[in-house]
Amino acid sequence: MERRFERNLEDLKTALAKMGSVAEESLGVALKALLSGDQVLAQRVFEMEEKINRLEIEIDTAIIDLLALNQPVAGDLRFIIATQKINNDLERIGDHAVNIAESVLTLQTLPGVSIPPEIHQMVEIARTMLKQALDSFILLDTSLARTVLRTDDQIDDLNRLMAQQVITQVKNNVLTIEGGLELIRISRNLERIADLSTNIAEDVIFETEARVVKHHAERNDTN
């Protein structure tokens, strides 16, 4: 029984790692579609969403079985709870990748909108944050998890900057309004992906140190 439980925990970690890599791939494809304007890539994101949704339900079901058939305590229980939350966050990251892919298709109907440098920067930061958050989960590396927490402010600033720039641009030329709103939408989705990566990092810290760093309690101390 004990050995089977340990194997089940290993399987759960493997399943979440897979969910993580599918979410990461989906985001990667969406971002590549965004920077290249490639509609075929955007379509692939919609297909990947179904896989992510299926995986989410599979992992959720496995977690309930695991809790029902065993009596996990302490670290094991925190691992299971963290896995459940991260699973949910990854599914939401998949949703934001879909939103970005939808924006790619909308931008096709708005010729002349180019992706500004701020979005390029946000793309890099969001991608790195998700990768670091997932690595911190696999390696139980709380130092890496804390790196993710510290990066979140950068993307918030860029998101605000984007809105300001769109306002300036629209005042110069009102016909840029549709494109501007779409850029704000993309910027906001990137900001949310960074936020969800932060949630994942917080869950890794909770799992490893039994310490709650939500609601920026710790970040306010260190910044």
Regarding 17 and contact with its own copies (CB under 8 A), the answer is no
Question: From CA 3, how far away is CA 124, in angstroms rounded?
Answer: 42
CA 18 – CA 110 distance, rounded (Å): 36
Token couple for 192: 């949310």
Using rule CB under 8 A, residue 218 touches its own copies: no
* C-alpha to C-alpha distance for 44 and 24, rounded to whole angstroms: 13
The stretch among 3-11, 26-34, 111-119, 207-215 that binds its own copies (CB under 8 A) is: 207-215
Q: Is 113 in the site for its own copies (CB under 8 A)?
A: no
Q: Is 57 in the site for its own copies (CB under 8 A)?
A: yes
Q: How far apart are CA 212 and CA 23, in angstroms?
A: 25
9 binds its own copies (CB under 8 A): no
Amino acid symbol at 23: A
Nearer to its own copies, 17 or 175 (CB): 175
Report if residue 174 touches its own copies, rule: CB under 8 A: yes
Q: Distance between CA 133 and CA 128 in Å, rounded? A: 8
Is the torsion defined by CA of 127, 128, 131, 133 positive or negative? negative
Which residue among 38, 141, 178, 218 contacts its own copies (CB under 8 A)? 178
- Spatial separation of the C-alpha atoms in residues 219 and 136, rounded to whole Å: 17
Give me the residue label for tokens 């890099």.
Answer: 124
Task: Decide: is 161 part of the binding site for its own copies (CB under 8 A).
Answer: no
Contact by Cβ (8 Å): 34, 113: no
Instruction: State the nearest-atom distance from the C-beta of 149 to its own copies, in Å.
Output: 16
Tell me the closest approach of the beta carbon of residue 102 to its own copies, in angstroms: 12
Binding segment for its own copies (CB under 8 A), chosen from 7-15, 32-40, 140-148, 176-184, is: 176-184
Q: Does 181 engage in binding with its own copies (CB under 8 A)?
A: yes
The stretch near its own copies (CB under 8 A) out of 9-17, 113-121, 122-130, 175-183 is: 175-183
Residue 115 contacts its own copies per CB under 8 A: no
